[in-house]
Amino acid sequence: MMNAIKKLGMLALLMSMPMLAAASEAGVHLDKAPVNLGDNASLQRGAKFFAANCLTCHAASYMRYNRLADIGMSEEDIKQLLPEGSKLGSTMQASMDPGSAKLAFGVSPPDLSVIARARGQDWLYTYMRSFYADSKRPSGANNLLFPGVGMPNIFAPFQGERELHVENHEGHETGKLVETTPGSMKPAEFDATIVDVTNYLVYMGDPSSLVRHKIGYIVLGFLLFLFILVFALKKEIWKDIH
């Protein structure tokens, strides 16, 4: 009896864990990332942005350049993204070595191969759009979703510089990011770019999902074909009995 009660208590604790984890996210609302793994044009734009802007510091060492053929890139397209000295079959390595990166930022930039599985797509989409200028930080930047983040605001040239304005509504403080200098992209254009990057990160976390989906359709098509065949057979067999 005691044991059963203990087990129930344990079960209740386990069931409440996801809630506890969600509550510890400092109450920041996550924006929904409208990713679409079927949209090759978006995945390709995401891959290009990723190669040009993220691989300076981060690696994606489970990902080989030639796999980008999965999202419809030709060998020529892929060669454009290759850093000096890399081959089509090379994995995506950071241009900065982890030691110097740690010295520069205080933390090593983590490998991003499976970051979408660790953090989730909505978290990533919100994170990349939550940077703001903060002179108290060594990098000059902070992040609403990731307070005290070691990553500099590499999005500022595109999104513009933003500042945190804290508003007090009857004792309730809410933070709002307000643009101080515009970037090269309009807000909607920047959001669309970050959708593309998120889409790419989700694809990279599970590249074979594209192949699985294709196989799924083939299997469903085959089952449909089989159903029609069996149905015709049934008609044929029963036609003399009625």
Contacting residues toward ligand HEC, per CB under 6 A: 53-54, 56-58, 105, 107, 109-110, 112, 115, 119, 124, 127, 149-152, 154, 197
Least separation in angstroms between residue 59's CB and ligand HEC is 11
Q: State the sign of the Cα–Cα–Cα–Cα dihedral 140, 143, 148, 152.
A: negative
Least separation in angstroms between residue 104's CB and ligand HEC is 8
Residue 1 or 21 with smaller CB distance to ligand HEC: 21
Residue 46 or 67 with smaller CB distance to ligand HEC: 46
Calculate the dihedral angle through the C-alpha atoms of 202, 204, 207, 213, rounding to the nearest 10 degrees.
20
User: What Cα–Cα distance (Å) separates residue 26 from each residue in 29, 160, 168, 171, 241?
Assistant: 9, 25, 17, 17, 71
Q: Can you tell me the distance from the alpha carbon of 165 to that of 41, in angstroms, rounded to the nearest whole number? A: 36
∠ Cα 183 189 190 (to 5°): 55
Least separation in angstroms between residue 115's CB and ligand HEC is 5
Residue 75 or 189 with smaller CB distance to ligand HEC: 189
Least separation in angstroms between residue 57's CB and ligand HEC is 3
Least separation in angstroms between residue 159's CB and ligand HEC is 11
Residue 67 or 113 with smaller CB distance to ligand HEC: 113
∠ Cα 228 230 231 (to 5°): 60
Least separation in angstroms between residue 93's CB and ligand HEC is 14
Residue 73 or 149 with smaller CB distance to ligand HEC: 149
**Counting Cβ atoms within 10 Å, is residue 11 exposed (0-12), middle (13-18) or buried (19+)?**
exposed
Residue 141 or 235 with smaller CB distance to ligand HEC: 141
Q: Can you tell me the distance from the alpha carbon of 232 to that of 242, in angstroms, rounded to the nearest whole number? A: 16
